[in-house]
Amino acid sequence: MSTNIFAREHKIQAQQTRVSYYFLLPALLFFVVFVALPMGMGVYTSFFKYTMSEFKFIGIDNYLNLFKDEIFVRSVKNTLIIVVGSVPIVTIFSLWLATIIYNMNSFSRSFFRAVYYLPVVTGSVAVVVVWKWIFDRYYGILNFVLQGLGIINKNVAWLGQVDTAIWCILTILLTTSVGQPIVLYVASLGNIDRSLTEAAEVDGATSFQVFWRIKWPTIMPTTLYVVVITTINSFQCFALIQLLTNGGPAFSTSTVMFYLYHNAFKLFEYGYANAMGVVLAILIGVFSALQFKVMGNKIDY
């Protein structure tokens, strides 16, 4: 009797599993065709001298050449500067702003969420055009304001100087990156059990202790998500560079993604570009794994 019940349950479960896979099938098909297959082809062709007219197996030569390529090495350094510079600032800044916004009334909260989210939903070309105008050497508002304040005495080519261009890119990246974390943090702060924070306050905990002991651990899953997504987006920084500086001046803003694009679309070195893509994917994977390892242990779901 019990064997029959067990067998029937097993059969129903198998049937349900099968149905679940049927439901997953369309999405899986898209994933395989548009993600997994191109990724596999990217890795495969990175071992070839692959240009417009050539397709020849060359083993790991593309990878060896990468590390002899000064521009690629420079691009990796710039990418790391962007990642290391943007991730902590985006995370801290968005958490700070979200805390302020969360304590506002519902109208103001919605208003500021919309304001900070606006650059995320605005097309990158439109955002870049506005920033290009701000940084413009001849009629940009930044030069106008700084000269008005007496901070500079002549116009500065913000995007045309080695020591300022990368900071301009970082600044723009920050404005386009904080929108989503702010919205997520505001939502996450709303999920904190009020009875816990109130009990702690009654027991004499300071604001800092309430934040550090109760709020911070509770919003840790959101923080992990924000950190990982910001890291990936920063590694893939491309549109800003292409539209603003073309990687210059003197490669000071060239990133791996930009150099990859340049090799693929301007020089038709598809295999070499794919090798860069593989290296970039490995870098992103390593960084993300480290973040999961370090921060994931502190998460109590």
Partner 1 sequence: MKKLLALVLTMIMVLSMASFAVAEGTTTVTWWVFPTFGQPDGAAPGTYERTIADAFEAKFPNIKVEIETIDFQNGPDKLISAIEGGTAPDVLFDAPGRIIEYGKNGKLVSLDDLFTDEFKADVASEDLLGACSDGTTYWMYPISSSPFFMSLNKDKFESSGAIEFVNLEGDRTWSTEDFLKALDKLNEAGELGGSVYCGGQGGDQGTRAFVANLYGARIANEAKDSYTIGSDEGVKALGLIKELVDAGKLEAGTDIVAGDEIKLYVQGILPYSICWGTSAAANNPTDFEKISVPFPSDDSVPELEYLVNGFCVFNNNDDARANAAKELIKFICDDEEFGPKNVLATGAFPVRTSFGNLYEGNPEYELLSAFTKYYGPYYNTMDGFANMRFEWWNMLQSILVGTKDIPTAVADYTTNSNAAFAK
> Minimum distance from CB of 153 to partner 1 (Å)?
14
- Residue whose tokens read 């003197």: 250
The residue from 251, 258, 272, 287 that contacts partner 1 (CB under 8 A) is 251
Structure letter (DSSP) for residue 50 = E
Task: Specify the length of the chain in residues.
Answer: 301
Q: Which stretch, 26-34, 111-119, 265-273, 281-289, contacts partner 1 (CB under 8 A)?
A: 265-273
Contact criterion met (CB below 8 Å) for 114 and 202:
no
* 188: three-class secondary structure by DSSP: helix
Tell me whether residue 161 or residue 291 sits nearer to partner 1 (CB atom). Answer: 161
> Minimum distance from CB of 138 to partner 1 (Å)?
5
| Residue 266 binds to partner 1 (criterion: CB under 8 A) | yes
Q: From residue 176, how far is each of 77, 86, 117, 172 by CA, in Å?
A: 22, 11, 8, 6
Contact criterion met (CB below 8 Å) for 268 and 190:
no
Structure letter (DSSP) for residue 242 = H
Which residue in 93, 38, 78 sits closest to 235, CA to CA?
78
* 56: three-class secondary structure by DSSP: strand
| Residue 121 binds to partner 1 (criterion: CB under 8 A) | no
Q: Which stretch, 13-21, 135-143, 174-182, 200-208, contacts partner 1 (CB under 8 A)?
A: 135-143
CA–CA gap between residue 214 and residue 224 (Å, rounded): 16
Mention every residue, 6+ apart, whose C-beta is less than 8 A from residue 78: 166, 251, 252, 253, 254, 255
The residue from 43, 221, 249, 281 that contacts partner 1 (CB under 8 A) is 249
Q: Which stretch, 87-95, 136-144, 181-189, 289-297, contacts partner 1 (CB under 8 A)?
A: 136-144
CA–CA gap between residue 68 and residue 189 (Å, rounded): 48
- In this structure, what token pair is assigned to residue 24? 């997953």
Site for partner 1 in 137-176 (CB under 8 A): 137-139, 157-162, 165
> Minimum distance from CB of 147 to partner 1 (Å)?
16
The residue from 124, 147, 236, 246 that contacts partner 1 (CB under 8 A) is 246
Q: Which stretch, 15-23, 24-32, 86-94, 261-269, contacts partner 1 (CB under 8 A)?
A: 261-269
Q: Which stretch, 12-20, 48-56, 93-101, 219-227, contacts partner 1 (CB under 8 A)?
A: 48-56
Residues that bind partner 1 (CB under 8 A): 51-53, 137-139, 157-162, 165, 245-246, 248-251, 262, 264-268, 270
